Amino acid sequence: MPAEVTFPLPAPHGPRTATVRYHREGTGSPLLLLHGIGHHWQGWQPVLPALAARHDVVAVDLPGFGTSPALPDGVPYDLEAVVPALGALCAALGLDRPHVAGNSLGGLLALGLGRAGLARSVTALAPAGFWSEAERRYAFAVLGGMRFGARLLPQPAVERLARSTAGRALLVSSIYARPGRRSAEGAAEETRALRGATGFAPTLAAGRRVRWAGDLGGVPVTVAWGTRDRILLRRQGVRALEQLPGARLVRLPGCGHVPMSDDPALVGRVILDTCASGTAAPA
């Protein structure tokens, strides 16, 4: 069972509080893992053994996703609100300037934490925010279709589909290049998480205004992109390098938008290499 922490939100949204559920394992320097829109912390499970062997790993359900409650009424789901909230979460958990790895929405938030001086290194897997307007519209249409399908199918039907490789492909091939590698339980729970995500609509609405700009002031950054990403097209990685001087770009051959399941060994190595560079760099 995930643990739970309730913490005060920073100004101007305090003294209200947020509650986040998370999974924690391993020892070493802290490493925070942030999932994408409509997903949950379990998306990191394929790489957790490698990461937890070297780090104190905290994988969270972002507010309004997975089993974490929504943000309080009136608190937006934009970078300006969520990044400081994640900083407060780290303080509540005793994570002193952790390494941060994030996927999609989580990659964007990881970069935001790095820009705010709250991360010692950042690994961004297919981060949002480096799109053209046409690419953003396309991505949002795909995400909206996924959400519609997840809400349309009753959970018993989802669980039946998840028992077969073809059924898992139908459920999760938008985010995985190799959906057959997901377990039946994993694919079914991911669909449930997408269907029940109270933060989905407000996050998508806030994302319409997102265009990343600015570097991270010397924080080591790796941007990694799957060559078979069907949501955020891999050419956006080159655009990310233009906005993030000093970052390195890594291609993930044969991986989709959520690469942790498609190639756990490669993704784990990319994250660990970035953490090592952040440990070696001066604060």
DSSP string over 8-46: EPPTTSTT-EEEEEEEEE--SEEEEEE--TT--GGGGGG
With cut-offs at 50, 70 and 90, classify the pLDDT of residue 14: confident
Output the CA torsion 177→175→31→91 (10° steps).
180
Residue 74 backbone zone (phi > 0: left; psi -120 to 50: alpha; other: beta): left
pLDDT beyond 90 at 106: yes
Q: Which residue has the tokens 């492909």?
A: 169
Asked if 222 and 270 count as a contact pair (C-beta separation under 8 A), the reply is yes
User: What backbone torsions phi and psi does residue 213 show, to the nearest 5 degrees?
Assistant: -150, 140
Entry pTM: 0.96
With cut-offs at 50, 70 and 90, classify the pLDDT of residue 7: very high
**What pLDDT, on the 0 to 100 scale, is given for residue 281?**
52
- Rounded CA-CA distance 222/249 in Å is 6
**What pLDDT, on the 0 to 100 scale, is given for residue 213?**
85
Report all structural domains of the chain as residue ranges with CATH numbers, in order of start: 3-132+211-280 (3.40.50.1820)
Average pLDDT over residues 261-269: 98
Mean pLDDT of the chain: 95
**What pLDDT, on the 0 to 100 scale, is given for residue 217?**
86
With cut-offs at 50, 70 and 90, classify the pLDDT of residue 276: very high
Residues contacting residue 73 through CB under 8 Å, at least 6 positions apart:
none
**What pLDDT, on the 0 to 100 scale, is given for residue 81?**
96
User: What is the share, in percent, of the chain residues with pLDDT greater than 90?
Assistant: 93
Closest CA relative to residue 269, chosen from 41, 47, 35: 47
